[in-house]
Chain A
Amino acid sequence: MAWFIGIDIGSVYSKGVITRDNELSAFYVILSGGNYRTAAERIRQELLTRVNLTQDDIANTVGTGSGAGNVYFAGQKVSDIVCTARGINRIFPSARIVIEVAGQSSKVMRIDEQGLVANFVVSEKCAAGSGWFIEVIANVLRIDIEDFGPLSLNSKNPITFSTGCAVFGESEAITRVAEGIPKEDIAAGVNKALADKISSLAKKIRVEEPCGICGGGALNIGLIKTVEHALNLRLLAPAQPQIVTALGAALLARKEIQGDP
């Protein structure tokens, strides 16, 4: 029996997972903040505290995400795409397609039975095509990000954003609020705009069921429903969609030491 850590430093959130062999023991999510190295260190400390261990008990650590280089104590650095595929394969072994809606971009990947990446597409680094758009508009609507999805489900008339830009979208949302448009219609409009971008990305890869969705964007139930509608298929969403990539990193940390399976 051995312990492994996976840490995924993203542009907005940093996520960590600790596993005992192949089993998830604890996870932790924080805002990345201005210093990614500090974020990585804080995550490691918290994970160790939660399972009552010290660093000496950890057999291996993998760092991933756009700030992977800041996980200075990691044994290996692995690309986030490889980790996401591995993580989703663990949760939904049948899934052959994964959609990830992250803080700065969205990705769609095709994976094989072993959880290896066969093909993938990544969006431009565009706030309107990523989870950041939800954060921007939640701020305009003065609602908590957790309430965004449930609120949007109440909408009967989602608004249509006239541009595909989060900067202009923010101004547009402010105008709509001033016009008295209900918040749920604006929130649902954001989901629709984002789902359009994701589905045009997904069309570059032949999307089929079973299809998983992960990343912070998958915490938004309204977005999941809207993407399902846009792609005309059902999506498998994990209970903790934000930590899928970190989970994959921990599983790869184990594989590095213990080999397959």
Chain B
Amino acid sequence: MYFAGVDIGSTMTKIVLMEKNHTVLSAIKGPTGPEHRQLANEVMKMALEQASLQLDEISYVVATGYGRLNVPFADRQITELSCHARGVSSLFPDVRTAIDIGGQDAKCMKINNGKMVDFVMNDKCAAGTGRFLEIIASTLGVKVEELGDISLKSTKRLQISSICTIFAQQEVVARLSDGENLEDIIAGLHDALSSRVAGLARRLKIEPDVVLTGGVAKNAGIVEAMKKNLGCELLIPEDPLLTGALGAAILAKEYFLKAMSKGEPSLPKARRLEKATFFE
């Protein structure tokens, strides 16, 4: 029995295929792409190939994330909050607070016994999201993956406005022309992003264990800055991008087994591995 979780984020599409016992057979990340939400079928093909499976062999597919409504081969859509909470608590059973910094939003969830009990999110403003780092990296002519390592070399604390991405971008240009060092500027930006996200998280009472996920958690500089701003230790999954897709796959299994036990003929009709026709 196989299950799939498909997480269509604003920037990346993530797919996890797993067995009933939670053994992960394939975990694939691909860009969501400028065509936006239309590439889910391509990423699914890659995932199936890696696991040597056919789509018909998948018992249940759950889609989540920003583009979850546009996955024609999904059996059910579940919000990314529920999927993240489920994915994180499967990896870290003692998690009480989960912070996810995605490409275009940031969310903080309170988790109790594996269930999400409260959340806050920012999906209205680019500051405090991955988009902030992408814009700044391109302004600085640095790859977004390099930001973390560069910032760790910083020896000086620079204050950069945390309020608006566009103005932070202008501020960065001004700091460069003032002769400030790249590593100090990037460290200042990480601090700005972290204080924004920590401010969001503090609207919920932060309790350990605290887990940080999302693509931004791959940035070691952000992890350090988040620890400082939150004043606590952070747990990071081995691949912080995959928790939503993992949670979706686990929820797929749970829905399927529940339906089976009730004897519901819930099961997949013909699924089509084709692109969404959202824009057509």
Known A34-B174, A34-B177: A167·B167 in contact at CB below 8 Å: no
Q: In the assembled complex, which residues on chain B have CB atoms less than 8 Å from the CB atom of A166?
A: 164, 166
Answer yes or no: A106 CB below 8 A from chain B CBs: no
Complex-state Cα separation, A125 to B126, whole angstroms: 13
B164 and A163: CB pair below 8 A? no
Q: Say yes or no: A132 contacts B166, CB within 8 Å.
A: yes
| Nearest Cβ on chain B to A213's Cβ, whole angstroms | 22
Assess whether A127 is interfacial by the CB under 8 Å rule: yes
Q: Is the CB of B125 within 8 A of A125?
A: no
B-contact 0/1 string along A117-128, CB 8 Å cutoff = 000000011110
The reply on A168 being an interface residue by CB < 8 A is yes
Q: Does A93 contact B (CB under 8 A)?
A: no
The answer to whether the Cβ of B165 comes within 8 Å of any Cβ in the partner chain is: yes
Residues of B within 8 A of A164 (CB): 124-125
Q: Quick one: which of A34, A126, A132, A167 contacts B131, CB cutoff 8 A?
A: A167
Contact B166 A136 (CB under 8 A): yes
- With CB as the reference atom, state the residue of chain B lying closest to A179: B279
Q: Flag whether B170 is at the interface (Cβ < 8 A).
A: yes
Known: A163-B123, A167-B126, A167-B131. A127 touches B104 (CB 8 A): no
Q: How far is the CA of A165 from the CA of B165 in the complex (A)?
A: 9
Closest chain A residue to B124 by CB distance? A163
The digit string for A15-59, where 1 denotes a CB below 8 A from any CB of B, is: 000000000000000000010000000000000000000000000
Q: Which label, helix, strand, loop or mixed, suits the secondary structure of the A interface?
A: loop
Assembly CA distance A127 to B171 (angstroms): 13
* Chain B neighbourhood of A127, CB < 8 A: 164-167
Contact B163 A165 (CB under 8 A): no
Which residues of B111-161 are within 8 A (CB) of A? 123-127, 131, 135, 161
Inter-chain contact B166/A124, CB cutoff 8 Å: no
| Interchain CB contact under 8 A, A167 and B163 | no
Q: Which of A104, A132, A165 contacts B126 (CB 8 A)?
A: A165
The distance from the CB of B203 to the nearest CB of chain A, in whole angstroms, is: 17
User: Interface extent on A, as a size class?
Assistant: 10 to 19
Q: Check B126 against A168 for contact (C-beta < 8 Å).
A: yes
Residues in chain A near residue B135, CB distance under 8 A: 167
A164 to chain B, nearest CB (A): 5
The CA of A125 and the CA of B131, in the complex, are separated in Å by: 18
Are the C-beta atoms of B163 and A125 separated by less than 8 Å?
A: yes
Which interface residue of B125, B166, B170 has the most chain A CB atoms within 10 A? B166
Q: B220-264, CB under 8 A of A: which get 1 and which 0? A: 000000000000000000000000000000000000000000000
Instruction: Tell which of B163, B170, B177 touches A124, judged by Cβ atoms closer than 8 Å.
Output: B163
Chain A residues lying within 8 Å of B170, measured Cβ to Cβ, are: 11
Contact indicator A124/B164 (Cβ below 8 Å): yes
Q: Which residues of B contact A11 (CB under 8 A)?
A: 167, 170
Q: Which chain A residues border B174 with CB–CB below 8 Å?
A: 34
The B22-36 residues at the A interface (CB cut-off 8 A) are none
B170's nearest neighbour on chain A, judged by CB, is A11
* B125 adjacent to A163 (CB under 8 Å): yes
B167 touches A165 (CB 8 A): no
Q: How far is the CA of A104 from the CA of B161 in the complex (A)?
A: 12
Residue among A104, A132, A165 making CB contact with B125, cutoff 8 Å? A165
In whole angstroms, how far apart are the Cα atoms of A126 and B125 in the complex? 9
Q: How far is the CA of A148 from the CA of B148 in the complex (A)?
A: 40
CA distance A34 to B172 in the complex (A): 12
Contacts beyond the supplied A126-B125, A168-B126: 19 A-B pairs with Cβ under 8 Å: A34-B174, A34-B177, A125-B161, A125-B163, A125-B167, A127-B164, A127-B167, A132-B166, A132-B167, A164-B124, A165-B125, A165-B127, A166-B166, A167-B126, A167-B165, A167-B166, A168-B104, A168-B124, A168-B125
| B interface residues, Cβ below 8 angstroms from A | 104, 123-127, 131, 135, 161, 163-167, 170, 173-174, 177
- A-B CB proximity, top 8 nearest: A167-B126, A127-B166, A165-B125, A125-B163, A163-B124, A126-B164, A167-B165, A127-B164
